């Protein structure tokens, strides 16, 4: 059986994408700010593996580790054990994340700023729209709406009897955030909020008031579409 090289596998799996939607081409035309975390990570990793494109590999890693923060906390051995990675790619990934960490320390003013639901969606949608299970994530914001982190705080269907709202705010409190934006995905691809989504939003908003952490919005993310529950007046009073 012929052994496929990495570049051949990547080509076979992403060749149907329009050229303008490929991460490298998108970066060239629109700038790095327009790319999702998954797309940027795909550029660093460069190649996928047989049966999985580099973009899906990047999305899988982000989902598994709960975003960039979790990925940055993973050690060398953990990353090497992941399908599609190895010593070389793990080293590249760790180095890139460390550079990002040092940049944030050196230049806090350069953190992304969220001014609208569209800004928040652009940071989350590419990655979250590919997830096969519901994930609840937060955008942690400072007093100037600069992003401090994007942790995954819950995985599974949003069930009020299971979701512990206190856990949602754990990282926000730890980092002394001024505000948060909540986001979760619908694996079906349809971002229409459910009655359960509205009920959970009400609980989170009310808990935020008690904890003095403002909940600016709750985004429901589908297949390249999203709904701002704040704009629709769902769960916010």
Among the listed residues 187, 161, 182, the one whose alpha carbon sits nearest the alpha carbon of residue 228: 182
Q: Which residue intervals of the chain bear CATH 1.10.150.20?
A: 6-110
Decide: residue 214, CB within 10 A, 0-12 exposed, 13-18 middle, 19+ buried. Answer: middle
pLDDT at 20: 60
Residues 98-114 have a mean pLDDT of 71
pLDDT at 15: 54
- Of the listed ranges 4-8, 74-78, 157-161, 233-237, the least confidently predicted one is 4-8
Among the listed residues 162, 42, 158, 137, the one whose alpha carbon sits nearest the alpha carbon of residue 93: 42
Top-confidence residue, 224 or 79: 79
Q: For the whole prediction, is pTM greater than 0.85? A: no
pLDDT per residue as tens digits for the range 147-196: 888 888 888 877 766 778 888 898 899 888 999 999 999 999 999 999 99
Correct CATH for 6-110 of 3.40.109.10, 1.10.3720.10, 1.10.287.10, 1.10.150.20: 1.10.150.20
Residue 55 predicted with pLDDT over 90: no
Residues 203-214 have a mean pLDDT of 93
Rounded Cα–Cα distance for residues 113 and 102 (Å): 18
Q: How confident is the model at residue 12 (pLDDT cuts 50, 70, 90)?
A: very low
pLDDT at 227: 95
Identify the CATH number of the domain defined by range 117-228. 3.40.140.10
Q: Which residue intervals of the chain bear CATH 3.40.140.10?
A: 117-228
């Amino acid at each position: 059986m012929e052994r496929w090289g990495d570049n051949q596998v990547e080509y076979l799996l992403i060749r149907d994408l329009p050229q303008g939607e490929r991460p490298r081409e998108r970066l060239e035309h629109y700038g790095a700010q327009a790319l999702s975390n998954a797309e940027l990570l795909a550029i660093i990793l460069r190649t996928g593996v047989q049966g999985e494109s580099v973009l899906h590999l990047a999305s899988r890693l982000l989902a598994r580790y709960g975003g960039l923060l979790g990925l940055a906390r993973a050690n060398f051995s953990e990353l090497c054990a992941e399908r599609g990675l190895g010593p070389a790619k793990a080293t590249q990934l760790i180095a890139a994340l460390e550079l990002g960490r040092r940049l944030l320390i050196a230049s806090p003013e350069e953190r992304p700023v969220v001014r609208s639901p569209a800004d928040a969606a652009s940071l989350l949608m590419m990655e979250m729209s590919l997830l096969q299970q519901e994930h609840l994530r937060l955008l942690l914001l400072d007093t100037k709406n600069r992003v401090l982190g994007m942790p995954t705080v819950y995985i599974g269907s949003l069930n009020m009897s299971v979701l512990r709202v206190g856990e949602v705010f754990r990282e926000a409190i730890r980092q002394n955030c001024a505000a948060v934006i909540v986001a979760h995905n619908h694996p079906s691809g349809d971002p229409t909020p459910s009655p359960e989504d509205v009920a959970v939003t009400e609980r989170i908003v009310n808990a935020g008031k008690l904890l003095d952490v403002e909940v600016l919005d709750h985004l429901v993310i589908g297949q390249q579409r999203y709904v701002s529950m704040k704009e629709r007046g769902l769960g916010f009073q």
